[in-house]
Amino acid sequence: MLDKRIFKFSGARQVLVWLTLLAGIQGFAIIGQGRFLSRTIVALWQGKPFATITNLIIIFALAYVVRQLMTVAKEYVLTPFADRVTQQLQQALLTKYTTLGPQVIASEGTGKSVTLLLEGLTKVHDYISLVLIKTVDMMVIPWIILAYLYTIHWEQATFLLFIYPVIVLFMIILGLAAQGKADREYETFNQLSNHFIDSMRGLTTLKQLGLSKKYADNIFEVSEQHRVAVVNTLKIAILSTFALDFFTTLSIAIVAVFLGLSLLDGQISLLPALTMLVLAPEYFLPIRNFANDYHATLNGKNSLADILNLLDQTTIAPTSQIALPAGWQQQDQLTLQDVNFTYGNAAHATLADINLSVKGYQKVALIGESGSGKSTLLNLLGGFNVGSGSIQINQAPVAHLRDQGWQINVMTLPQKPYIFHATLRDNLCFYSQTATDDQLVQALQTVGLMTWFEQLPSRLDTIIGEGALQVSGGQAQRLGLARILLDDQRRILLLDEPTAHLDIETEALLKEKMLPLFEHKLVFFATHRLHWLKQMDWIVVMRQGKIVEQGTLSDLYAHDSYFVELEKAMRGVTDAKS
């Protein structure tokens, strides 16, 4: 139940020391509570006047108050630590997502990533708040009580000592079964989260293709798998709770029977027998509390493990080796030689033996079938992926392109530009934080959004994005273009099939707005739409992660090569010669 990596956080050991101290005080308070409760009952049984037992009742009440105060004090000590750890994890997770780039979202799934960052951190907070207290209590309080019980009746104390590990062993067996079920539940929950996000994002497309009802069956199947996993986990949890209650109750009953027999035989008096009987349930209470919270915190434990595993992933910190004081200029040159890249533990390289040299304000097209490595190469050029091989800028070798001097010159335009839940002004100022309102309006006019803009209730202060005013795919693409238009300092432009999901008419309108943006910029344009190739200076043809051909459009047509086959296969979309 306890992830040992918790102790790597700052302040964890100090918290553990305080919890141990408070649990020890609570253990002695429990003994005092049981001892003086028994003395009070025995005194009343013997018919002593109430006035003579007032002090016993007061001491019992004080012990009870101390016990409750220790519970509050433990929460007071642990809650700030849990808050601090959760905040640290949140910041570290956001930084890790930023450092790893889009590939981590692609591999983990958007739903899981969002759930981990929001609900997952809440579960981690609950897990830390419960697990340390319950673990320390289980490791301290029973043994203080047991030591006192040995001073009363060593035979019954020995029985309690030996029954304890038997219960622990049985709970370990059930706990391992519960862990497996909980892992399955957690896996299906992440799958359901990813499925839900993907379904919501693609709902319009599914409806247009007439697949919405069919896809609803898929959602039901994933939901049903999660329901079954939850029910199976609950079965194990209920079984383990029943087993623990049964064994502890049976153990206390056995102690009670033998104490009764000893009492009848005169081997023990009423006071110690009653004291032992009162303290026996307290002896088992910490492990019962631990077991009850074990199942409640399994998801928190899994979330913490996922977060820490993600944070433990090796990342290459951004460097500052590349010096482009005036930004990318006409005379600058980028050269890739034998560059390779492999995702995670994949058996085969996603990019292999990439050799490419570009200079100045070239417009470079990346074409190939889906999965040929175009997006991966763009991510590498943007510094999101770090591969092996030789990279040179102006004949000076650099380790990789995850470099501040390079990335400060880069702008990207993906298939679906992300629209933040923020004002239109904040969305437009993604690259240019100092743009004036007049410049923003001029950019909107340039990309053809003035009619839409004039209809907005609060103009630039209108909240757009998820949960607010929605924008169409074409509008989102135009807003992405406006972001690029507002920043004339960055001269390296990466476009990953920015018009892939648009119809031909909308794409033609956007093309008129996009082509002027390519001037005086180094452009890498991944596309399936071959009509763009006539505006490109250099064409890179990719297949299975390799560059199989490159050259000008006329050079590629001059040879009966893979490009010609690819162009014929994609002619249903557009004709490069038209």
pLDDT in tens, 281-326: 898 888 888 877 766 666 777 778 778 877 777 666 666 667 776 6
Selection from 29-33, 43-47, 98-102, 256-260 with the highest mean pLDDT: 29-33
Q: What is the pLDDT of residues 516-530, one digit of tens each?
A: 888 888 999 988 888
Q: What is the pLDDT of residues 434-461, one digit of tens each?
A: 888 888 888 888 888 888 888 888 888 8
Which of residues 475 and 218 earns the better pLDDT score?
475
pLDDT of residue 578: 41
**What average pLDDT does range 487-498 have in this prediction?**
84
Q: Which helix (H) or strand (E) holds 168?
A: helix 154-201
Structure tokens at 257: 């029977």
Provide the pLDDT confidence category of residue 214 given band limits of 50, 70 and 90.
low
**What average pLDDT does range 465-478 have in this prediction?**
78
For the chain, percent of residues with pLDDT exceeding 90: 10
pLDDT of residue 68: 93
Q: What is the pLDDT of residues 169-203, one digit of tens each?
A: 777 776 666 666 666 665 666 566 656 666 665 66
Q: What is the pLDDT of residues 342-382, one digit of tens each?
A: 876 666 788 888 899 998 899 999 988 888 888 888 888 88
pLDDT of residue 4: 76
Mean pLDDT of all residues belonging to the chain: 80
Task: Judge whether residue 210 has pLDDT over 70.
Answer: no
For the chain, percent of residues with pLDDT exceeding 70: 81
Separation CA 361–CA 499 (nearest Å): 22
Provide the pLDDT confidence category of residue 140 given band limits of 50, 70 and 90.
very high
Task: Judge whether residue 102 has pLDDT over 70.
Answer: no
Q: pTM value?
A: 0.59
**What average pLDDT does range 152-162 have in this prediction?**
85
Separation CA 307–CA 89 (nearest Å): 8
pLDDT of residue 19: 93
Neighbours of 420 (CB within 10 A): 13
Residue 310 identity:
L
Largest CA distance in the chain: 115
Task: Show the domains of the chain with their CATH numbers.
Answer: 4-311 (1.20.1560.10), 320-409+489-578 (3.40.50.300), 422-485 (no CATH)
Question: What is the 3-state secondary structure of 391-421?
Answer: EEECCEEECCCCEHHHHCCEEEECCCCCCCC
Q: What is the pLDDT of residues 239-285, one digit of tens each?
A: 777 777 777 888 888 888 888 888 887 788 888 888 888 898 898 88
Task: Judge whether residue 491 has pLDDT over 80.
Answer: yes
pLDDT of residue 422: 85
**What average pLDDT does range 215-227 have in this prediction?**
71
Q: Which residue has the tokens 């049985």?
A: 170
Which of residues 142 and 299 earns the better pLDDT score?
142
Half-sphere exposure in the Cβ direction for 38 (13 Å, CA): 18
3-class secondary structure, 463: strand
